[in-house]
Amino acid sequence: MNRALLPLLPLAALAACGRPEIYQSDVPLPAHGWHNAYAPTFCFGISDTVSPHDVYIDVRHTGDYPYNDLYLFVDLTDPAGRVWRDTVECQLADPMGQWYGRGTGYIFADRFQAHILYRMGDRFPRSGRYCLRLEQAMRQDTLHGVLDVGVSISPSQARR
């Protein structure tokens, strides 16, 4: 083996272990808070209508986020323009207030990343452009403590 390639071996092994993502995007939220009128939209192309996919909602928040959960209105628009709306509860902490997400920060974790399964093993019925819109639904106009939100889509790991 070429010695120049040895430093790249751990990176190649790490990449082989993860699931390949079809789509991933995050949007930073305004520093003054997430107003309920602001609804980030994530658009992505789907060409495989046979294989199942897992769809995740990604939430990065501070340790000062005041709730254990986050309610979202999630609108999915298909290539024909039809819209489906779901109300989704994203559990961010257990009943004792311990955050579920991975913590980041220097010495003490002050920011948390949660990767929440929204749909498991779903098939997209048509190829084309889909859009997923996330609207906070927490019964207050401006929500503080959420830094950014996003969407991740990967081939499903569920057995059907």
Q: What is the pTM of this model?
A: 0.82
CB 104 within 8 A of CB 111: yes
pLDDT per residue as tens digits for the range 59-116: 999 988 999 999 999 999 999 999 999 999 999 998 988 888 777 655 445 788 999 9
Reading the block at residue 134, the tokens are 């996330």
What is the CATH topology of the domain spanning 20-155? Jelly Rolls (2.60.120)
Confidence of residue 11 (pLDDT cuts 50, 70, 90): very low
CB 120 within 8 A of CB 70: no
Q: Taking the domains of the chain in order of start, what are their residue ranges?
A: 20-155
Helix, strand, or coil (residue 52): coil
Nearest residue to 117 via CA among 59, 159, 64, 37: 59
